[in-house]
Each structure stands twice: as structure tokens, then as C-alpha cells.
Amino acid sequence: MKPDPELYMQSLRCLGVEPKEALAIEDSFNGSLAAKRAGMYCIVVPNAVTKQMPFGHVDGCFHSLKDVSLKKLMTLFAKQRQ
């Protein structure tokens, strides 16, 4: 159960994907904690209930999925790898 990262870790193992090769898109605080604890990149698109929560631990926070583009994600993660 989130924020336990095991569900994410099990999914990564089943897919044969390393955590730093994966991106979680979450809308909750606990879900984002689980993704980060699994070693994944994580962006958050908060919902009406979670929009006031502190998401300082994630790699990006967006108001809507409409704001998320591959170009933005590539730029965001390229900066973090430096």
C-alpha cells in the first residue's frame, strides 16, 4: 500500500525496466512518495483534494496533463541528470 514502493518496484521488475528509466504520473502525495522511494522519476498533476499538498519531493508538478509534453519532460529530466 502506498507510500510503500513495492508495487512500483514489482511493476518495474515485471517490465524489465530500471527505476531511472521510468516515469510515474501521480495525483496523490502517498503515490508520489512511493514512486520516489522506488527510485523513479515522478511528476504530479494534483487533483482537487491534493492540490494544496506539498510536493517538493517530486521532479515536476503540473496543473493539468495538457501542460505535459514530451519536450517539457525531456528538458526537465536532462537538467536533473547534470
Alpha helix stretches (DSSP H) within 3-57: 6-15, 29-37
CA atoms within 13 A on the CB side of 22: 21
Look at residue 33 in the predicted model and tell me its pLDDT: 96
CATH of 6-81, one of 3.30.70.890, 3.40.50.2300, 3.40.50.1000, 3.20.20.80: 3.40.50.1000
Look at residue 77 in the predicted model and tell me its pLDDT: 79
pTM: 0.86
Look at residue 55 in the predicted model and tell me its pLDDT: 94
Over the chain (82 residues), the average pLDDT of each successive run of 10 is 91 96 94 96 94 92 92 81 62
Rounded-to-integer distance, Cα 74 and Cα 30, Å: 25
Look at residue 73 in the predicted model and tell me its pLDDT: 87
